[in-house]
Amino acid sequence: MEDDNPDISWKLKPNVQAIYKAQPFSTNSLGLRNPEISLEKPADMIRVAVLGRSITMGEGVADHEVFSQILQNRLDEWQPHRYEIINCAVSGYSVQQVLAFYETYVSKLKPDMIIFTSSKKDLTRARMKAIPSLAEVQPSLTDLNYYLSYTYIYEAAKFIIKKITAPFISTEWDEQLAGVNSSTADTLTNDILLSAFVENRHRENIESYIFMPKRGEIKSDDVFHGLRKWAEQHPGITYLDVNAYLQNRMPKSAHIYFGDTHPDPQVHTLYGEALFEQFKSGAIRQ
């Protein structure tokens, strides 16, 4: 997977063995946070590519705790040597980058299925005019804000300050900035990008699924209605309703540490179990 694509800009390095946010973090020879796999799909195996960003990559949890690996383990217990789950997520990606990463790298793996993780803003944001280069996003040695962000005390202090000041600081500037950006940016929205992506995979007979990971206790299903409705309007993709499984199981708060809202191993386990139930029930076609 040596190709380059300016719409991607950055990706994980291959063969990494490191500690990231206090947890073991490794990548395989293809630069994926996944156990080693062959580029050629094994015979009689259903290959499933999981696409997404930081939560899907497993920000702040160990390799064996990422929900894609939990799902793999459960499927192996249920139907050994039938499914191969591949974590193809990269933290910090936009929808545009996720889709470009698939076209450039993941498509070479010839997956039979795709599971796409989404956020509630994925269908409304406009794509970036240009993906920033690695030089623009890579921190310099003097960027203390970046390096301090990996310390518990710094992130906790930022979180507390934000909570205290939020009731007193106007957010109108944020809406105005969004309006300016939408008027000058490319009008091709994520909705259109995802629709074209799904249509292309449908023509290739690749099953596509989408779900929205929830970071904490689920109080209302309203936030998922838009994504479900969108999926229903696109015959090439199926919305996975994992909330029935998660509803009474999600903790009120289970983050990797105070100040960082990425889900902890307990929540990743729930994601993996919820997706396994989708396979087991036939919601994900076999």
Return the minimum-mean-pLDDT range out of 25-34, 98-107, 212-221.
212-221
Which residues does 161 contact at the CB level (< 8 Å), separation at least 6? Answer: none
Report pLDDT for 170: 44
Q: For residue 164, what pLDDT band results from cuts at 50, 70 and 90? A: low
Q: Is the entire prediction scored with pTM above 0.75?
A: yes
Tens of pLDDT along 175-209?
A: 443 444 444 444 457 888 899 999 999 999 999 99
Average pLDDT over residues 166-177: 46
Question: Please, what are the domains in the chain?
Answer: 17-138+188-281 (3.40.50.1110)
Mean pLDDT of the chain: 82
Q: Which of 84, 112, 88 is nearest to 98 (CA)?
A: 88
Percent of the chain with pLDDT over 90: 48
* CA 8, chain centre distance (Å): 15
